[in-house]
Each structure stands twice: as structure tokens, then as C-alpha cells.
Structure 1
Amino acid sequence: MYISAAILLSLLQGQVRAHTFIWGVFVNGVDQGLFKGVRIPAYNGAPGAGGYNNSPVKNLTSIDLRCNVMGDIQAPDTIKVAPGDNLTFDWHHDFRSGSDDVIAESHHGPSLIYISPDPPTENSFVKLWHEGLYEESTFPSPGKWSTTSDIAKNGGHMNIRIPADLKAGHYLIRAEMIAFHEGEVSFLKNPIRGAQFYPNCVQIEVTGDGTVELPEGVSFPGAYSYDDPGIVYDIYCSTDTKKTRTTACTTTYPIPGPTVWSGAWAETTGVPLGGVSAPTRATPWSTWIKNSVVTSATFTDTKFLTTMGTSTYEASWSSTYQTPAPATKRW
């Protein structure tokens, strides 16, 4: 497979319509800059056709479940942190601002954070934190969920601390939101519906002289199954409804994946944040991927001028750490 450097660069540029992904990272309250260290998901369609970043991953066997579409492509920079540092992931929908809605208000579900050595290996993702349904409600209200009632209501901020005494090295933080507005049936049974996964990976380098190594974790894909009760879940289920159901409604929600690692910090509350570094909006984009076909074009505003070409893309994850290539231009 061949894909030009120009196409790869343009895949890291721009924002027109997004679902949700990480636009920035704060370290101990200090913003690291727009998209720094973030493996930005590819666009799933042309601007004129309503394309957007991070079209949800629904296929649990796809490599895209690891770090999203084109998640194997490194960001040109890595964030340096130390054990005990507070990281705040700044999730957004359309632009990096307090007025942004972060994620669609119907996209109720859990939020999760994993860490893995970079590059990932078999069973290398270790869970550091999760939050799901934290306040039940009665039909037809879905209750209070992490994605919509916590992360979105708090400016898109998702918080984690680097584990104490973690061994120095390069790691990937895999942060994720899951939306259940169509999750009452599995994608395997009905590809039009199914739970929507929004994974996003951030490159970090842990410094210091720590000695703690990560335990065995889980793989992506592989950590989630269509048989898991936390993967197929009806957030609007009610025994008062007249819908025909094959299973009884539940009043609790089992968060998918493994348990949180005992070496993770128990406290995940946020720290005071400083201002956001400019820029806060991404520039227009001209490259997208759909059904593994990468298309590049030129345009002015929303008017297309020339289609420059297409190429087929297949994810290719390295088995050894590769130093990210610096970019001369990000946006």
C-alpha cells in the first residue's frame, strides 16, 4: 500500500463536521496546544457530502477499534509527562470552545481510559479509569451517563493521572466514549444500528526513574464482545413500554472491558485549567477516507475544484517503537 506524505499531512488537518474526539491535552492544567500528541481520526467523507472526523467505529473486530480510523499513523509530536501528572483530555465536536456541545446530547454512554506501551502488543492495554451510568432515572429518561452528563457538561474534560512510579518510556493513552442511542441491538445483527465507539489515542513519553511496569491487559480489537451486556444495551428500556423484548430490562449498567488496574490512581478529579493555546479551530480539509479508499481534492470553501487522486489504505502497525517524523505544517 502506498499513500503520499501530502495525503497523510492533510489527514491531520481541518475540521468541518465531527462527532467527538480529543482536540487538546492539558498537563497539570497547562494546555499543550491544538492536537499535540493526538492521533487525529480520519474524515469519513467529502465536505460537500457531510463528511466528518471520527465516524463511529461499530465493528468490534476492526483494527480501527484500537485508535480509530488511521490510528496507526503517528502524530508528529509526543507529550512528555511524569508519574503523578494530571492529564485532562479536551474532547470536542465542532471546535475547541466552551460553547461547543462536545458530543450529541443523545449519545449517552460510558467513558473509559486505557494505557499501553507504544506500540501496542497483544494484551497490552491496561484500564486506568471508567465511568458509566452514575445516576438512574425512570422511563423515558435515560439517567445520567458519563458521556453526556459528566464529560459534555464539564466542557469536554476527561481526567486521568499518570500511574505512580510508572517506568519511563513511550506509551499510548487510549481514551474512549461509547454511545448507546442505537445500542439496543448489536452491529453484528443490524449494521445500521449498534453501539458507537469513539476511541482516540494520545502519544506520551513518561520520564523519570520509575520501576513499575504495566501488567497484562487486553487487546483492541478483542477486549469487547457482542455478547457483553455492556456492549448491547438499551438506554431507553423500561418494563412500562409495550415493545416486544427478548430480555428483561435492567436497572444497572455493566461497564465493558477489564477492571481498573490496581496501580491506577483512585482519584481522577480535574485540576484548575489555564487558557487554551491558539489556534482553537482547524483549517479546511481536502482529504478523506471511506471504505478504505483515500481521496484527495482541492477546493475553495465548500466548492470542489479538482480531484487529485485516490489510494487504498490498510492499517499497518509497527512492532517496534518508531520516532515520529516532524511535521513542517500541522494546520
Structure 2
Amino acid sequence: MYFTAATLALAFASGVSAHAQMYGVWVNGVDQGDGRNVYIRSPPNNSPVKDLASAALACNVNGGKAGSSFVKAAAGDTLTFEWYHNTRTDDIIDASHKGPVITYIAPYTEGNGAASIWTKIAEDGYDSSSKTWAVQKLIANKGKQDFVLPANLAAGRYLIRQEIIAHHESDTAYNVNSARGAQFYPSCVQFEVTGSGSAVPDQNFNFNTGYTYSDPGIVFNLYSAFTSYKIPGPAVWNAASSGSGSTPAPAQTSTSSSFVGGATLLPDTTSTSVAETQAPATTSVAVVVPTTTAAPTTLVTVTSAAQPRPTKCGGRRRRRSRQ
């Protein structure tokens, strides 16, 4: 890829750090209102998570701090997650922070989500035909990312996690140079789903073990001559072909319960605020999940010798401004 002085200047200018976090949810086009610290487990600021060993990789800092309410939706509904930078409908995230937007679901837990409970239900990465990243679409759509709840999803309470992965510094792994590495912006939303479906999400994905520094979708040189991009994590779950009607395994003993998909879940009630660099939590998160695992995607990343790298993203955290 040929670099002009202007291109490199824009890359270096990414140090101004326009980061992102989630504002709220829309259900079939209807705004559910400001969800921050209400139905969204909101972090204290818009800074990214970079350490793959951090418990915050699942639901961000404050991931174990349950919200006071749930978004109500039916299986098959179209959901829209709305992101912002400092104020609603602003620049959303710096245009240099190109990467995928990925959505997962898990049975509801009051724990921080750092466990083998997640199933991928939607993803958007790099469109080679238009040479467009999901983050570029997100910015163009004023911070809104649509996806559809699986029509066969069992009724109950869930966490739905959507993340932005920014690749402007991911040519070097975080464990090699902590000043660089992919930037993760995860956000977890509490949902109560209705419907007559019987499909129970069953991929049992764990971000702390499933995302690795050997993954080409995590350590990725955005400034190389690439023709494709392999989105990290499992394949998107096919609810229609899952083990519908199967009985989940009994939950582990805990002190509180929630009702999900016809089964009583006994989640961990520990509420923990975890710093980005903290090691993953070891508290068991008792949830009801089957045991099959989906096969990974098979796209191949093609890279060439790395070009000059941009400077690191700004080190100073931004405080979220008032709306």
C-alpha cells in the first residue's frame, strides 16, 4: 500500500483518541431511552480494554454491576445498539479506529460475564468489494448498529454483548508492547426476551480463552496490503439448527436465581468493578448452557510487510460528558 504524507499525518493524528461507548437500544425502530447504568452495564469512561486476560474483556469495567431494568424484546425483533463518543450522535469514534462490530448473547448472570457462556449471533467485519469496515458503517449510520434476534431463541433473560474492535494499533500484540495492541470496546445490555422458541445459545465461548494473541483477527496490520479479514471468535450461531427442546444441565449452587429459556439459572451475585489490566476473575459464574461448540470461520488474512506504524492512541482517558 502506497502512503502519502497526508495519509501518514492522518494516522499519527489518531493520537487524539476518539473512543466510544454505548448510549441505548432501539427495538424495531423504537427508542428505549438512555440505557447507561440502567439496562446497560456502563463503564466509567470510553477507554478501551486491551488485555486479553482482563475480566473486563467480557462486559467492560463495571461488567459485574447489574443494571436496574431490562429491555423487553421478542425473538425475531430487530435491535439497534446506539454508540457515541462524548455526546449522543457526535463523531461516534475516530475514523482511524477501523475494525469489526460483533454481537454475542449469554444467559443472564449478575456476574461479570468472564466465563464460558457466550454465543455469537451477529458480526460485521471488512467488505472486500467496497473496502469498507463495520466501524466506517457505524460512523455513517450515526452510531447505530442493527441486528436481528434469532426467531427461534428461547424466551427468558439474557445479556447481549456488542463490541467494537479497533485495529489502528493492532499490528503489534498488547502482550508484546502494552502501548499498542487491538482496542476492544465491549458493552453488555440486559434483555428480557419473549416468544415461543426453544433454541438455547450453546457455543460456550469465553473471551479470556477464545481470544488469543495468535488470532489473525486480533493481531492485524491495518496498514498492510490485505484482501480479507478473519473476524475473531466462533461462527455466527444458527439457532434454527441448534438442539431445540433440549434440557440444559442443572445450574450450580448460588444465592439468587433468574429464569431463562425454561430453565432456572443460578448466577454468581458477585458485583465487581474490574480495571482493564486486572487478571480474569476466578469466581464461578453459574449459568445454564449446553456443551457444543461451533466451528471457527475459515477466512484467511493476507498481509505483506508492515508499513510505518502510527503513533499510539492518546493515553489520557476521557471523562464522559453530560448529555
Query: Same fold by TM (over 0.5)?
Result: yes
Residue identity opposite 2:28 in structure 1: N
Q: Which runs of 5 or more structure 2 residues have no equivalent in the other structure?
A: 1-16, 242-272, 288-322
Partner Cα separation in structure 2 for residue 262 and residue 90 of structure 1: 25
1:67 CA drift (Å)? 0.4
Counterparts in 2 of 1:126 and 1:292: CA distance versus 1, 3 Å: closer
* Residue 24 of structure 2 corresponds to residue 24 of structure 1: yes
Residue identity opposite 1:147 in structure 2: V
1:318 CA drift (Å)? 7.3
Q: Secondary structure at the match of 1:258?
A: coil
- Match of residue 50 from structure 2: 58
- Match of residue 204 from structure 1: 191
- Match of residue 157 from structure 2: 170
Q: Report the RMSD for the aligned CA atoms in angstroms.
A: 2.9
- Match of residue 148 from structure 2: 161
- Match of residue 113 from structure 1: 103
Q: Secondary structure at the match of 1:222?
A: helix
- Match of residue 43 from structure 2: 41
| 8 A contact 2:49–2:276 mirrored in 1 | no
Partner Cα separation in structure 2 for residue 153 and residue 96 of structure 1: 14
| 8 A contact 2:167–2:221 mirrored in 1 | yes
Partner Cα separation in structure 2 for residue 224 and residue 91 of structure 1: 23
1:193 CA drift (Å)? 0.4
- 1:1-331 aligned at under 5 Å gives the runs 19-35=19-35, 36-42=38-44, 53-97=45-89, 100-119=90-109, 120=113, 122-135=115-128, 143-148=131-136, 150-238=137-225, 250-263=226-239, 319=285
Residue identity opposite 2:95 in structure 1: E
Partner Cα separation in structure 2 for residue 320 and residue 252 of structure 1: 38
1:209 CA drift (Å)? 3.1
Q: Structure 1 length as normaliser, TM-score?
A: 0.65
1:319 CA drift (Å)? 3.4
| 8 A contact 2:71–2:191 mirrored in 1 | yes
Partner Cα separation in structure 1 for residue 200 and residue 164 of structure 2: 26
| 8 A contact 2:115–2:285 mirrored in 1 | no
Residue identity opposite 1:127 in structure 2: K
Q: Secondary structure at the match of 1:197?
A: strand
Give per-residue Cα distances to partners, 1:78-137, cap 9 Å, x unaligned.
Answer: 11111111110011111113xx11111110011100011112584321111111111368
| 8 A contact 2:199–2:240 mirrored in 1 | no
Partner Cα separation in structure 2 for residue 197 and residue 223 of structure 1: 14
| 8 A contact 2:128–2:228 mirrored in 1 | no
Q: Which runs of 5 or more structure 1 residues have no equivalent in the other structure?
A: 1-16, 43-52, 138-142, 239-249, 266-288, 294-311, 322-330
Partner Cα separation in structure 2 for residue 183 and residue 231 of structure 1: 7
Q: Secondary structure at the match of 1:77?
A: coil
Partner Cα separation in structure 2 for residue 194 and residue 235 of structure 1: 12
1:54 CA drift (Å)? 2.9
Task: Tell me which stretches of 4 or more aligned residues in structure 1 moved more than 4 Å.
Answer: 289-293, 314-318
Q: Secondary structure at the match of 2:87?
A: coil
| 8 A contact 1:78–1:205 mirrored in 2 | yes
Q: Alignment length, in residue pairs? A: 236
Q: Secondary structure at the match of 2:209?
A: coil
Identity rate, percent: 43
Counterparts in 2 of 1:31 and 1:223: CA distance versus 1, 3 Å: same
